[in-house]
Structure 1
Amino acid sequence: MDTAPATAGRLEIVSDAICPWCWIGKTHLDGALEILRAEGLTFDIGWLPYQLNPDMPTEGVERATYRAQKFGSLERSQQLDAQVAEAGRAAGIEFRHDLMLRTPNTVEAHRLIRLAGPAGVQHAVAERLFRAYFQEGKDIGDRAVLSAEGEAAGMPAEALAAFAAGGAAREEVMGESLGLAQAGISGVPSFLLDRHLLFSGAMPAERMAAGFRRAVEILKAQAA
């Protein structure tokens, strides 16, 4: 009987759903995984929660005002948005900052991604949320919006029901986000292989692939 080839380990992405560089990083990651897949190197993929704004009100805030306060002025915020948009275009994705009206609290988004894990659709859910927020201007702090995106990404009914109930995975998300911050992770996206921190940042696919390839070699040598 044929069996699936063993993966090279569990590759986890530490991310926040409102981090634009995390969407760019995921796009480059998909390219890196394609490169390595052609070499016979595959990974078990998972996503870990990180809150860039842990003190964000549950209902979120108006984005323009929040960003102006955070970066000193609306003009500075717009300059940073333009830099992100340019990097996005280079990666083949489009940011629609004109549609992004609110900065949400992301605990609910992290709950959804975590509950997508058993069904193996975390990667798809993360992509849906990035597109919903950065390209479609949806409020990904809204539970109904999140449920619709989870369903579209292939989450099973029982997982969506658990999400809708409001409590499932909340403690795990809060604890894991805090634990990652206490462990020294201060920037996202960050990439872990079998819980070894490899690097942070949205580097190009070829560089990511080289980093993952080298990490696999090092961990194999250590295990031997």
Structure 2
Amino acid sequence: MLNLKIFSDYACPFCFIATGIFDKLKKDGVEFNVEWIPYEMHPDIPLEGKSVEGKHPKIYAEKMYEMLTKLGTEYGIEYKIQEKDYNTHRALLAGEYAKSIGKYDEFSKKTFKAYFTDLKNIGDKDILDDIAKQTGLNVEKMNKLIDSGEYEKNLEIAKKLIDKFEVEGTPTFIINDEHKMVGIRPYEQMKRSFLAY
């Protein structure tokens, strides 16, 4: 059985593509377990978000958008041009709650879509609650656990794994706890790389 770890953040557009890759692997009959490890890329971003203006030259942003659109089409994923980056801390904690009740896949896809397609601020508690509700999560219980600090320890465990595997960016895949692969490639190439080990 193939075991995959993916270090991911909801602010990582290529991690959204990974959800499509994993779905396609399942359709292709590849048997695997996947563990999503939270990796908070920009903990310093305020809850109201931060403008991306000046972050990269406009031509870079346009080329990135073109590339993401091309990659996403294969998986039915739509991207829109970002005007702001958003804080993902609470969303990552909510993801840990979703994992605990077996709803992570659905929750994560809705959260990525909210960020990259609907351009919503997933740092906003009300928006996150709405995503959780759409996923069928117990919003009151989720918030109680998040606010009690229940899932902060999961992020601490994730930091230890980040150090252990020397992860420096997202998405980073760890194949069978040994081999590291960084970034997204065309589907057949990803599949070959996963199955090579």
State the TM-score bracket (shorter-chain normalisation).
Answer: 0.7 to 0.9
Q: What TM-score, normalized by structure 1, do the two folds share?
A: 0.75
Out of 91, 95, 106, the residue aligned to residue 109 of structure 1 is: 91
Out of 14, 18, 23, the residue aligned to residue 25 of structure 1 is: 18
- After superposition, residues 87-166 of structure 1 pair within 5 angstroms as 87-97=71-81, 100-157=82-139, 159-163=141-145, 165=147
Q: Give 1:77's aligned residue.
A: 61
- After superposition, residues 166-185 of structure 1 pair within 5 angstroms as 167-174=149-156, 176-177=158-159, 179-181=161-163, 183-185=165-167
- Report whether the alignment pairs 1:16 with 2:5: no
Deviation at 1:88, TM superposition (A): 2.0
Q: Give 2:177's aligned residue.
A: 195
Name the Cα RMSD after superposition: 2.5
Out of 29, 34, 37, the residue aligned to residue 27 of structure 2 is: 34
Distance 2:68 2:191 in 1: 22
Deviation at 1:58, TM superposition (A): 4.0
Q: Secondary structure at the residue paired with 1:141? A: coil
The structure-2 alpha-carbon separation of the partners of 1:59 and 1:168, relative to structure 1 and needing over 3 Å to count, comes to farther
Q: Secondary structure at the residue paired with 1:44? A: strand
Which contiguous aligned blocks of 4+ residues in structure 1 show a shift greater than 6 angstroms?
none
Deviation at 1:205, TM superposition (A): 2.9
Alignment deviations for residues 22-65 of structure 1 (CA, whole Å, 9 cap, x no partner): 11122122112221x2xxx42333211112223323432123x2
Q: Secondary structure at the residue paired with 1:84? A: helix
**Structure 1 unaligned residues grouped into runs of 5+:** 1-7, 216-224
Q: Secondary structure at the residue paired with 1:116? A: helix
Moved more, 167-176 or 18-27: 167-176
Distance 2:153 2:130 in 1: 23
- Contact 1:107-1:173 within 8 A present in 2 as well: no
The structure-2 alpha-carbon separation of the partners of 1:181 and 1:82, relative to structure 1 and needing over 3 Å to count, comes to farther
Larger radius of gyration: 1
Distance 1:59 1:10 in 2: 37
Deviation at 1:182, TM superposition (A): 6.2
Deviation at 1:104, TM superposition (A): 0.8
Equivalent residue pairs, number? 197
Q: What TM-score, normalized by structure 2, do the two folds share?
A: 0.84
Q: Percent identity?
A: 24
Higher helix share: 1
